Amino acid sequence: MQSKNNTDLIKVIKERRSIRRFLDRGVSSSLLNKLIEAAVWAPTTCNQQLWNFIVVRSQKTKNMLIEEAASSTLIGRAPVLIVITYEKSNFREALQSGTGAIQNLLLAATYYGLGSCSMNSFGNEEKIREILDISDDQMVVCFVTLGYKNPKYYENLDPPPRRDISKILHFERFAKKRNNIFSYNPDKWTLEDLKDYQRYYCRKTFLGKEMDIATREEKEIVSRFIGKIKGPILDWFTYDGSYVKYFPNEELFAVDLTDETSRYTNEAVKTAKGSGFNANYLIYDSTFKKLKRKNKKFRTITAIYKFERLSNKFKKTVINNSYDLLYDKGELIVIFRKKNVLYRLFYYAIQLLFGDDIRKTGIYSFFGPYRPIHSRKFVRMLREAGFSKIKKECYFPFPTFFDQAYQMFLQYKKSGGTSYLHRLRNENFFTKIISFLINIYGFRQIGLGTVCVITAKKSQN
């Protein structure tokens, strides 16, 4: 018979999740002592207990970690930061013993009503040592942020899904039960791979959080082309709802790949448009058949920086779906980054340095794979599907994304190779050159542009 204590333990384990938004409320020293007491009851190799826990409450110190050690800006919002270190002469011992303590601490925080988040992208370890006076015999294992969670960010957010045990459990010998695809090349991903990735890897923050990476100029292009379109509108793979705010107040059907991503879209719509906005939320697998059965048609169908992420096979399928779902003379609008020699050199360089793994650079890694589109081949796909009056407009001969990529490089360098994304912008001589190259043509059309907008009409039967 299961005891009440065991039931409570499993409940705490399942309720724990990473919290990144906190109330402006302190955590008492007595409660912190209880968390550390729970942490030190974790096992260590040979019972050595060679860990240390540094509690940081000072905003000044947290700001120093963010600005000088390139730590995540998340720690600046958290009332408490705990830095866990362990004696480093044996790396495996430090890793095993330190992480055991971290898990105890996280579960205890949940039990006592606190929100927490463990972080391995904590920044430049040498700078952290200087700021916190950590001795050379210690390895920084992890940062843990603590505080009382802000409920408005989490009230509609279910715990992240967990893989079915049958997919991860092995007896006697390892037997591969799933693909682990992380390539930049969308043609290496099946639709199931893409859904699996979005369901687990990228669902790690609160509803309505913008996960996609886009520049100011790229967003301005969206605003100019989407702001006055006519509904009903279908948007392919709305995902995090980053571009919902640019849609007019027309009936919108937002299509996503999984239930999990659809909930993020739903919250983003509420945040950007309010509860009165007429939006419908659909999942791709069932969308096409359901809409066809109801003979539902659309005046406009959009895909905003999403076709770059689809395999050529799936891309053709979605284009054909779009043609079937449009009214006669309805319009498909696709906005994307166009393949050119600069993008090719860029992707060749990062794959040479980091390998063909989107997780290792953080570039477009949240949605899945990424590959700029060959515009002429894409136009050919549209014609083959039956579209006519195809118009292509291109902007920015120098890729606007390079500004973001350079910021990620600066963060990678400053953080000692531990992270890529940072909310604080770095400025130097090269950022000014990049800005000049991006804006030299402004928003004028140019054949060699790297951001393209293609509009295509459905031919009248």
Q: What is the pLDDT of residues 182-194, one digit of tens each?
A: 999 999 999 999 9
**Are 268 and 356 within one domain?**
yes
268 lies in which domain range? Answer: 187-397+441-458
Question: What pLDDT, on the 0 to 100 scale, is given for residue 200?
Answer: 84
Q: Is the pLDDT of residue 312 over 60?
A: yes
Report the interhelical angle of 91-111 vs 29-39 (nearest 10°).
130
**Are 191 and 134 within one domain?**
no
Mean pLDDT, range 309-314, rounded to an integer: 96
Domain end point (choices 127, 153, 179): 153
Euclidean distance between the first and final Cα of the chain, in Å? 69
**Are 210 and 125 within one domain?**
no
User: Rounded to 5 degrees, what are φ and ψ at 302?
Assistant: -125, 155
Residue 208: exposure state from Cβ atoms within 10 A (0-12, 13-18, ≥19): buried
Instruction: Classify residue 274: in a domain, yes or no.
Output: yes
Closest CA to 191 of 22, 29, 310: 310
Instruction: Classify residue 418: in a domain, yes or no.
Output: no
> For residue 460, what pLDDT band results from cuts at 50, 70 and 90?
low
**Are 145 and 194 within one domain?**
no
Instruction: Classify residue 177: in a domain, yes or no.
Output: no
**Are 11 and 80 within one domain?**
yes
Q: Is the pLDDT of residue 27 over 90?
A: yes
Instruction: Classify residue 171: in a domain, yes or no.
Output: no
Classified as helix, coil or strand, 106 is helix
**Are 352 and 221 within one domain?**
yes
Question: What pLDDT, on the 0 to 100 scale, is given for residue 203?
Answer: 62
CATH of the domain at 76: 3.40.109.10
**Are 228 and 142 within one domain?**
no
pTM recorded for the entire structure = 0.90
Whether a cis peptide bond, with omega within 30° of 0, leads into 43 is no
Instruction: Classify residue 426: in a domain, yes or no.
Output: no
- Domain total for the chain? 2
User: Rounded to 5 degrees, what are φ and ψ at 121?
Assistant: -90, 60
Closest CA to 334 of 237, 455, 445, 458: 455
49-108 pLDDT tens trace: 999 999 999 999 999 999 999 999 999 999 999 999 999 999 999 999 999 999 999 999
Instruction: Classify residue 175: in a domain, yes or no.
Output: no
Bridge partner list, 18: 116
Classified as helix, coil or strand, 48 is coil
Closest CA to 259 of 207, 294, 218, 209: 207
**Are 138 and 202 within one domain?**
no
**Are 237 and 327 within one domain?**
yes
Query: What value, to the nearest 5°, has the Cα angle with vertex 183 and ends 179 and 187?
Result: 85
Closest CA to 116 of 103, 131, 100, 98: 103
Q: Where are the beta strands (DSSP E) in 33-79?
A: 51-56
> For residue 420, what pLDDT band results from cuts at 50, 70 and 90?
confident
Query: What value, to the nearest 5°, has the Cα angle with vertex 408 and ends 406 and 413?
Result: 95
Question: What pLDDT, on the 0 to 100 scale, is given for residue 36?
Answer: 98
Closest CA to 247 of 262, 263, 229, 271: 229
**Are 129 and 194 within one domain?**
no
**Are 310 and 381 within one domain?**
yes
Instruction: Classify residue 174: in a domain, yes or no.
Output: no
Question: What pLDDT, on the 0 to 100 scale, is given for residue 1?
Answer: 44
Q: Is the pLDDT of residue 173 over 50?
A: yes
**Are 363 and 251 within one domain?**
yes
Domain end point (choices 103, 137, 153): 153
- Computed over every residue of the chain, the mean pLDDT equals 91
CATH of the domain at 287: 3.40.50.150
Question: What pLDDT, on the 0 to 100 scale, is given for residue 333?
Answer: 98
Instruction: Classify residue 276: in a domain, yes or no.
Output: yes
CA atoms of 225 and 247, how far apart (whole Å): 9
Question: What pLDDT, on the 0 to 100 scale, is given for residue 292?
Answer: 74
Contacts by 339-342, CB closer than 8 A, 24 or more apart = 339/371, 339/372, 339/373, 339/374, 339/375, 340/372, 340/399, 340/448, 340/450, 342/398, 342/399, 342/402, 342/450
Number of continuous H segments (helices) and E segments (strands) in the chain = 15, 11
Domain end point (choices 153, 176, 201): 153
